[in-house]
Structure 1
Amino acid sequence: MVKMNKNIVHMKKQPVSFLKRRTTSLSFLNIFTILAVFILLTEALTAQELPRRMQVGMAMQPVENGIVVTFAPENQPASLAGIREGDIIRSMDGEPVSSQWDVIEKLRNERPANIRFSIERNGRDEVLTVHPVEVPRLEHPDFEFHYGALETDDGVLRRTIIRKPHGDGPFPTIVMLGGIGCYSLDSREGLAYIDLLNDLASAGYLTYWVEKSGMGDSRGAPCMEINFDTELSGYRAGMTQVRSMSEVDQNRIILLGHSMGGIIGPILAAETEEPVHAIIAMATFGVPWFEYLIANSRRQLHLSGLSLTEIENRMSETVKVHYL
């Protein structure tokens, strides 16, 4: 206590300017420390806000009281654990499974180090332990892949995948607007969109894609459960992000929409303050959505070889379903 009092007296004897300098120095030091900690925490949170998804390396389809393995490629966690095509998975870590979404949600939410699958093979039961791994990021010799994230209006994080040509840019930019369906473009092959974006990036275009809700690394409701507005909200957030990117030539932004994306493109263009360079609509439609569904359903029934009477009977039920 005596020593503390002496320090206080000593401080009182110092000139006011000294006290101000010392106080100011301490303030700057504190502020600097707080900012440094904030930056580190922000970087850590950013890196963790949308982690890479886990995979077991097998394709599955629902069957009665389980899911059947339809594809188990070599050198993937499932095949390395002994799972084979045709195996029926009855439970996962002791919990019954009814669809592949049960496996996907467990991988997404829990990121487990291992999963015990109870399978049935040729009438015999067996338990196999699979060790999931993170999905590797894509690479290409002609351009760079950049993985990011955005937050939609309803607070859901969605994965963004950018293909950027080598160099500093800015580059003419293609914003890809996909059609209806549940798919991820975070793959080396499997969809025509992937080949298209790879070719565009190789030709010098920066390409931008927002993964669908619940697909790939994206959070949110399962893709099959979302509506048009939810789909549109992801692309809206994407356009906001594109407008802030220094690598993007803001005078040469092209919206490339296929199918439903051909409808989304003009909506986005009308909402942006700065005009887009072009809108490309491929295989889209120009009639109300309800009318399109009816016409498309009738065409598919006709191509299936049904008689006109059978088509009319089917369509009477189909219209009710579409109307709901």
Structure 2
Amino acid sequence: MKRKYISLIIIMLLTQNIFEAQTLKRKGLLGIMMQTLTDSIAMQNNIYVKTGVHITTVMPNSTFANLGVKQDDVLTKLNGSSVSTIQDVLTITNELYEGDNIEAEFYSGNSKKIKSTALLGRPIEAFENGDVNYGEVVYEGNVLRSILVTPKQARKAPVVYFLQGYTCGSVETATNDNPMKKLMKDWVDAGFAVYRVEKPGVGDSKSSKHCMQISFDEELTAFKEGYKDLLKQETIDADNIFMFGHSMGGVIAPLLNEMKSPRGILTYGSIAQNWYDYMVDLYTKQPKHFGVSDAQIKEDNKVNLKFNEDFLINKLSGEEILANKAYADFFSANELNFRQNQYIGRHFDFWQNLADINIPEAWAKVKTNVLAMYGEFDIQAISPKGARKIADIVNKNGGKGDFIVVEKADHGFVNFNSMQHNAETLGNGTYMIHARDNYSFLLGKESVKWMKAKVKK
């Protein structure tokens, strides 16, 4: 009897903890874009600090703006802890919420400064023609922030499940000049609800592991749990769910299709080949957009292609890669990240796990409507072959695939005059400024037109 009583108390405590976890506090907003400081970055920007995090952008009226931090300053400590990588900053700020005190040690030129302020909360989203509902997706080790925007006065609206790309950035879009916000506004104005779920540790989400530490399978689980939550929403039409897979989201979409086939899947800037093969193309073809000669690409690929095999197929750790002198020399700018098993913004587990996913096979199982879109000036997706192949695979296996090129658009829903114009803004740091005023209205128009034609009456 005593044992049963103790068990009952444990169950009650566990239930209480789960209940308490379901009330997410509002996370703070630093208001910066940053990169790990390297020797080359320091030299280019006349920085004399040896280690730290290089601040590339400071948003107006943000926490870091209030601290007096400016572009090209170097953050060296946060709340008394030294920081040398983006991951260090995220680890500290992941436990901070609106109103918490934050102290930063940073360098402006040769001047060391230490300042503190109250952490500002993330702005709340607003849509002129939509009601924004903040919710939570709860599963083991995670309480993820969900956001559902429903058209005003709509009942049982068709809905778009927005599946974001590979980065660990938030999908909240409080500013109206954000191209992603403008795309979602087009959908809401056309009568579609929009659903999103933050990744583990991102935005308001409270997780045992941050997005930058999880594997691809763990990320897929987060989107699956989001899909379960979406299917339970009473204000949407579960027979008219459309998935919009942006970039890596276009890899997630066909895997979610195995849970419940949606009315349609739209992909933008995605691929239909396995990740190892895509990376070979990335090393071989993408540099040409940035003016790298064929001879230099061939020379670089003596290391890149062997690294691709050791990294994705042989699954070496960061320490094992750095033990190879050829790799250590070639990737010297990535040494700190490699020692933390980080590569291009994600953990080694993410990329190595992703390399085991059979992407063409996943698309072969999709029997629903699919619109595969490619932006004419998309540098990241490399070429329209990926989108065209998605449509071809779907059509060959019993689905209904369409393919279109969105004129002038790039990977981030932004219009450019040419591929070179896109590369120039990426290279000189003016991309975000250009993006504010150059949203691809054609992308919104084409996606709305296709979905309206596929809605089940």
Range into which the TM-score falls when normalised by the shorter chain = 0.7 to 0.9
Q: Find the counterpart in structure 2 of residue 238 from structure 1.
A: 226
- Name the CA distance, whole Å, in 2 between partners of 1:164 and 1:145: 7
TM-score normalised by length of structure 1:
0.76
Q: Select the residue among 31, 38, 42 that pairs with 1:57.
A: 31
Alignment-mate amino acid for residue 250 of structure 2: G
Q: 1:309 to 1:133 in 2, by over 3 A?
A: closer
Structure 2 counterparts to residues 68-147 of structure 1, below 5 A: 68-111=54-97, 113-147=100-134
Match of 1:258 in 2: 246
Q: How many residues align?
A: 280
| TM-score, normalised via structure 2 length | 0.56
2:218 match: secondary structure:
helix
CA shift in 2, pair 1:45/1:194, >3 Å: same
Structure 1 92/138 Cα, relative in aligned 2: closer, same or farther at 3 Å?
Answer: same
**Offset of 1:280 from its aligned partner?**
2.3
* Correspondence list, 1:175-190, <5 A: 175-187=161-173, 188=175
What's the counterpart of residue 307 of structure 2?
317
C-alpha contact 1:83 1:128 (8 A) present in aligned 2: no
Q: CA offset at residue 233 of structure 1? A: 0.7
Q: Is the 8 A contact 2:154 2:191 kept in 1?
A: no
Q: Using the alignment, how far apart are the partners of 1:245 and 1:109 within structure 2?
A: 29
Query: What are the Cα deviations for residues 99-127 of structure 1, in whole angstroms up to 9, with x where unaligned?
Result: 34434333331436322222223323222
Structure 2 residue runs of 5 or longer lacking an equivalent are: 1-15, 38-49, 316-457
CA 1:95–1:145: 2 relative to 1, 3 Å: same
1:259–1:282: 8 Å Cα contact kept in structure 2?
Answer: yes
What do residues 135-174 of structure 1 show as CA deviations (whole Å, max 9, x unaligned)?
121112121111111024x431111111111025110111
253-262 or 304-313: which moved more?
304-313
Pick which of 83-92 and 156-165 moved more. 83-92
Tell me whether 1:248 sits opposite 2:236 in the alignment: yes
CA distance in structure 2 between the partners assigned to 1:114 and 1:229 by the alignment: 35
CA distance in 1 between counterparts of 2:302 and 2:132 reads 50
Query: Which is greater in Rg?
Result: 1
The Cα shift of 1:42 comes to 10
How many percent identity over aligned positions?
Answer: 23
1 CA distance for matches of 2:26 and 2:205? 9
Does the aligned pair in 1 maintain the 2:164–2:171 contact within 8 Å? no
Q: Residues 170, 301 of structure 1: CA spacing in aligned structure 2 closer, same or farther, 3 A cutoff?
A: same
Which shifted more, 283-292 or 228-237?
283-292
Closer, same or farther: CA 98–169 of 1 in aligned 2, 3 Å: same
Tell me, yes or no, if structure 1 residue 196 matches structure 2 residue 183.
yes
Q: Are 1:305 and 2:293 matched, yes or no?
A: yes
The secondary structure found in structure 1 opposite 2:147 is strand
From the superposition, tell whether residues 46 and 88 of structure 1 become closer, same or farther in structure 2 (CA, over 3 Å). Answer: closer
**Contact kept? 2:22, 2:143, Cα under 8 Å:** no
Q: Does the CA-based 8 Å contact 1:143-1:201 persist in structure 2?
A: yes
Is contact 1:55-1:107 (8 Å) kept? no
Using the alignment, how far apart are the partners of 2:152 and 2:18 within structure 1?
25
| Structure 1 Cα separation of the partners of residues 164 and 32 of structure 2 | 25
- Secondary structure at the counterpart of residue 94 of structure 2: helix
Residues of 1 paired with 2:194 and 2:64: CA distance?
33
1:199 Cα offset (Å): 1.1
CA contact (8 A) 2:276 2:308 kept: no
In the aligned structure 2, how far is the partner of 1:225 from the partner of 1:247?
Answer: 34
Partner residue of 2:147 out of 161, 171, 174 = 161
RMSD: 2.7
Asked if structure 1 preserves the Cα contact closer than 8 Å seen for 2:22 and 2:138, the reply is: no
Aligned partners of 2:156 and 2:237 also within 8 Å = yes
User: Which AA in structure 2 matches 1:224?
Assistant: M
Determine the C-alpha separation between the residues in 2 that align with 1:293 and 1:101: 24
Q: Secondary structure at the match of 2:258?
A: helix
Q: Is the 8 A contact 2:87 2:212 kept in 1?
A: no
Structure 1 unmatched runs, 5+? 1-40
Deviations 1:213-255 (Å, cap 9, x if unpaired)?
2222223333333222112111111111111111011221112
**1:229 has 2:204 as partner:** no
2:137 to 150, 163, 177: 150
Partner SS state of residue 59, structure 1: strand
